[in-house]
Amino acid sequence: MIEAVYYTSLNFSTMKLLIASSSKGLLLIEFNKEQEEFVELLKDHFPSLEPIKDREKNLQYINQLTEYFQGKRKEFTFPISLTGTAFQTKVWKELANIPYGKTASYRDIAERIDNPKAMRAVGMANNKNKLPIVIPCHRVIGVNNRLIGYGGGLHIKEELLKLEGINVKDDKVI
């Protein structure tokens, strides 16, 4: 059971990240939201708790995300706390296996979880990922190498892929 939710914000390049955590680990990352909107989102997710703004409680997440944006970190080692359906969890675990600097298609992910016809369902699970960057859904692209479907917006997906050394031009991995 989560007893308290702590949040803070970070700025990287053209992105503002809002993050939330508990004693169990990182709970949520959102892009470019206003703080008030983020707090309301947290209240919706955790109605019995009042979110607490606390940079110190989020320091391990801040430090590792900062290292990622500086190009010094390729994997995250902090604890995470995700809840989802069995299918979503299976997809998220497979997303976590996509290496830094590499991409996979929705079809690839569907095949890797032994459900080759579930490309749309994989996309829906991607959409429910509450920890983008950490669970690297930005590395999932269309079978034609096109950038499609990213909750933070395709411009952020492109920026993250470029940060990882992936060449992108005209919304397509080249």
Question: What is the spatial distance between Cα 46 and Cα 3, in angstroms, rounded to a whole number?
Answer: 10
How confident is the model over 104-115, as pLDDT tens digits? 999 999 999 999
Question: What is the spatial distance between Cα 133 and Cα 113, in angstroms, rounded to a whole number?
Answer: 21
Region 134-142: mean pLDDT is: 97
Confidence check: pLDDT of 8 > 90: yes
How confident is the model over 27-84, as pLDDT tens digits? 999 999 999 999 999 999 999 999 999 999 999 999 999 999 999 999 999 999 999 9
Catalytically annotated residues: 137
How many residues are listed for the chain in this entry? 174
Confidence check: pLDDT of 1 > 90: no
- Residue linked to tokens 């997710």: 45
Confidence check: pLDDT of 170 > 90: yes
Q: What is the pTM of this model?
A: 0.94
Q: What is the pLDDT of residue 31?
A: 94
- Strands 25-31 and 15-22 turn out to be antiparallel
Range of the domain at 32: 3-70
Tell me: do 131 and 53 sit in the same domain: no
Q: What is the pLDDT of residue 39?
A: 97
Tell me: do 90 and 61 sit in the same domain: no
Confidence check: pLDDT of 13 > 90: no
Confidence check: pLDDT of 139 > 90: yes
Which of 26, 42, 70 is the C-terminal boundary of a domain? 70
Confidence check: pLDDT of 149 > 90: no
Reading the block at residue 99, the tokens are 């290496």
Which of 70, 103, 121 is the C-terminal boundary of a domain? 70
